[in-house]
Amino acid sequence: MEKIHYTHDAGSYRECPYHPKAEAKCLWVNVDWKLYELERCERGSDSRVGAPRTAEETFKELAAKWQAETAHLSAIDDIVLHPAYQDIIGLGPSVIPLLLTQLQATPNHWFWALEHITRQNPVRPEDIGIIRKMADSWLEWGRQQGYL
């Protein structure tokens, strides 16, 4: 039951979310973010081709892609309009705790996503542009709302 990792872009390899490293490998195609398998994967909760993934799994993958592809950018428009970032916004309220946890660990430009998902902005006008203060405002909001 040999399976391989494969992506269409730059030949990068990813581990199957259902198998520990070096056990069995599943074919992974980045084109439409689905797990395609050469043989049935018994580890997944639903091992059918294209089995739904949790919001957390999707978020982590999109966040890693966004961070890797925007780390060199300085224009905020390019950062927040990146397709992976927009896909994160599209995940909706289920990712609010994940965004806040990310913000708590490493302050980053998650503010746009949080504002668009929650339709709120707890950042004081005088703190706009000060990443640490913006993060603190959102984290306090998250605690008050019960997300943290």
pTM higher than 0.85:
no
Among 141, 106, 125, 131, smallest CA distance to 117 is for 141
| Residue 35: strand pairing partners | 28
- Per-residue pLDDT for the chain (148 aa), expressed as one digit of tens each? 333 433 333 344 445 555 444 444 444 433 333 333 333 344 444 444 455 678 899 999 999 999 999 999 989 899 999 999 999 999 999 999 999 999 999 888 999 999 999 999 999 999 999 999 999 999 999 999 999 9
Helix (H) or strand (E) holding 28: strand 28-29
Q: Where are the domains of the chain?
A: 1-52, 55-145
Running DSSP on this structure, what letter comes out for residue 11? T
In the structure encoding, which two tokens stand for residue 114, read together? Answer: 């949080």
